[in-house]
Amino acid sequence: MDNKFQGKQNIVQSVFNHQAIGFDVDHCLIRYKVKALTKLCYKVICQAVIEKYNYPSSILDLTEGEYGFALNYLVIHIDKGIVLRIAENKEIIKCYRGFTEQDVETEYGPTRMLPDFDPISSIKQNPQYIVCATYFENVIPLIFAKMTQFKCEQLNSNQLESSEYHTIFVQIIEGLKMNYQHFDQHKVFPINQYGRFFRQISENPGLYMFKQNQFRTTLENLKSQGKVLFIVTNSHYEFMNLTMTYSYGEDWMNIFDFIFVKGGKPEFFNNPYKQTFLLDMNQPLLKGQVVNQIVANQKIYVEGNYTLVEQYLQQKFSSLGQILYIGDHIMNDCYFTQKYTNWDGIAIVEELFEQLKPDSQYRVEAEQNIISYRSYWGNYLESTVNNQVLKNYWYSIACKELKGVVRTLDCLQNQSLWS
C-alpha cells in the first residue's frame, strides 16, 4: 500500500477477505478535478439563482481566494446566517457570517457548542443545521456566504433577519436542483436538456475529471479473483454512464456485476422495503418491472436496497460473507452503512494529503487539484482550539468507526491488499 499513508492501518487486514466490494461513483470511482468542479458548480448554481430571483450578476464575482471558503463538511446554521466547522468534541473551530469571521464565544457562548447537534443519531438531518458534505455540496456554504454578504452590504448592516437567511438558503437549493436534479415525479429529463451543470461536464469531461486507467486494472484483478463488484450511486443512469465512460472506457459496465442508480443512499442501506426496478429506457421515470432480487442478464437497477446484494451473494456463494462499500460521503456512504448493515465502510478523504510530507509528489498533485481552504479554515484534518489539538468532527468519526480511510482510490491499488 501507499507507504506514505499514515492513516488507519487496518485496511490492510480488512480488504482482501471481502466477498463483494461496492463502490460509490462520484468522488470515488470518479476522481474529479475539484478546483475546476467547484468553480463550475458555483457558477451554474449562481446563474440559476440570479435568473430566477433577480440578483445582480456581481454574485458571480469571486476572488481566487474566496473559493477557498468551499471546504467539505461545513455546517450552515441557517437561523444565525453562520457557516462553521466543528471539532471532534463538537466544539466550534471557526465561524463566519458572509466572509467575515465571527467570534465563536460571542455567537455561541463559552461552551462553543451548537445546541442539539447530533448528526450521527439519525440519517435525517436536523433542518436547523445543514451539513454540506462532498465536493458537490461544498459550494452551498460558499454561495450562502456570498449572498449573505451581498444582502448585508445592500442594507448596510452586519446581519439580517433570521427569515432572510432561510430565504437565501431556499433560493440556493432551488438553484442547485435546477442544475443537479434532472428528474421530477413524472419524468427523467435528458441531462443535456437540463440546467447548465451536466451540459458543461459532457462538453468538456477532461476539464473536470481524471481518467482511471490504473484503477480499472485493479478492478479487473479483483474480478479475476472472483470478487463480486457492484455500484450504488445516487446519480441517475445517464450521468453515471457519461462519467464512467470517460474515466473507465466504453466497456466499463463489463467490470461490474450489477449497478444501482438513483440509489437514495443512505436509505438504501437502512430500508429493506425500498422498491427495486429494472432500468427501462422507454419509461418516463426509467423504472421498469419491480423486482425483489438481482435478475440474470439484467445489470442495472433503479433505487433498490441492500438486501438484494446480500441475497445475491448468499445464493452465489451458499453463504453470505463480508461486504465492503467504498465512498466519499463519510456518513451516507460509510458510517450509516456500517451502522445499519453488517457491511464494512472505507471512506475516501482527499484531504488526507495533509498527512504527507510537503515535498511528496502525491501532496503536490493533491494540492493542485483541491481548493486552497487553509486561509479560511486552517487544516482539514485537525485544528487547535484553546491550545488543544482536535481532529475535525467527521474525520474523527471516520478514523474511529470505519474500516478504513484513504486519500483516493489509487491508495488501494496495491495488489497485496486484495490477494
Please report, as ranges, the residues that interact with Mg ion according to CB under 5 A: 24, 26-27, 328
What is the Cα–Cα distance from 149 to 158, expressed in whole angstroms?
9
CB nearer to Mg ion: pick between 246 and 376: 246
Query: What's the CA gap between 125 and 131, in Å, rounded?
Result: 8
**Distance separating alpha carbons of residues 112 and 89, to the nearest angstrom:** 10
CB under 8 Å to 321, separation ≥6 — which residues?
17, 18, 19, 20, 313
Please say whether the beta carbons of 182 and 26 come within 8 A.
Answer: no
Q: Which residues pair with 303 in a beta bridge?
A: 276
Q: Is 307 helix (H, G, I), strand (E, B) or coil?
A: helix
Closest CB to Mg ion among residues 23, 165: 23
Quote the least distance from Cβ 278 to Mg ion, whole Å: 24
CA distance 83 to 27: 23
CB of 26 to Mg ion, least distance (A): 4
| Chain Cα centroid distance, residue 404 | 16
CB of 266 to Mg ion, least distance (A): 12
Spell out a b/e string for 304-327, using b for 16 or more CB atoms within 10 Å of the CB, else e.
bbbbbbbebbeeeeeebebbbbbb
Q: Which three cell numbers stand for residue 207?
A: 476539464
- Report DSSP letters for 46-82, one per residue: HHHHHHHHT--GGGG---TGGGGG--TTEEEEGGGTE
- 49 or 261: CB nearest Mg ion: 261
Q: How far is the CB of 46 from Mg ion (least distance, A)?
A: 23
Between residues 96 and 208, which has the closer beta carbon with respect to Mg ion? 208
How far is the C-alpha of 60 from the C-alpha of 39, rounded, in Å? 10
Cα(29)–Cα(13) distance, integer angstroms: 22
C-beta neighbour count of 156 within 10 angstroms: 6
CB of 27 to Mg ion, least distance (A): 4
For the record, the C-alpha cell of 161 comes out as 433577519
Nearer to Mg ion, 26 or 350 (CB): 26
CB 287 within 8 A of CB 280: yes
CB 346, min distance to Mg ion, A: 13
Spatial separation of the C-alpha atoms in residues 311 and 306, rounded to whole Å:
9
What is the distance between the alpha carbons of residues 198 and 180, in angstroms, rounded to a whole number? Answer: 8
Choice between 87 and 232, CB closer to Mg ion: 232
Cβ proximity to Mg ion: between 328 and 344 the closer is: 328
Closest separation in Å from C-beta 337 to Mg ion: 13
Give me the least distance between CB of 333 and Mg ion, in Å please. 6
Determine how many CB atoms are found less than 10 A away from the CB of residue 159: 17
For Mg ion, the closer of residues 23 and 67 by Cβ is 23
Beta bridge partners of 232: 260
Counting DSSP H helices and E strands in the chain, the numbers are 15, 16
Fill in the amino acid letter for 342: N
Q: Smallest distance from the beta carbon of 29 to Mg ion, in angstroms?
A: 9
What residues does 290 pair with on adjacent strands?
Answer: 277
Nearer to Mg ion, 77 or 236 (CB): 236
> Which of 102/337 has CB closer to Mg ion?
337
Nearer residue to Mg ion within complex by CB, 148 or 243: 243
Q: Least distance from C-beta 135 to Mg ion, angstroms?
A: 9
In the complex, least distance from residue 241 CB atom to Mg ion, rounded to whole angstroms: 16
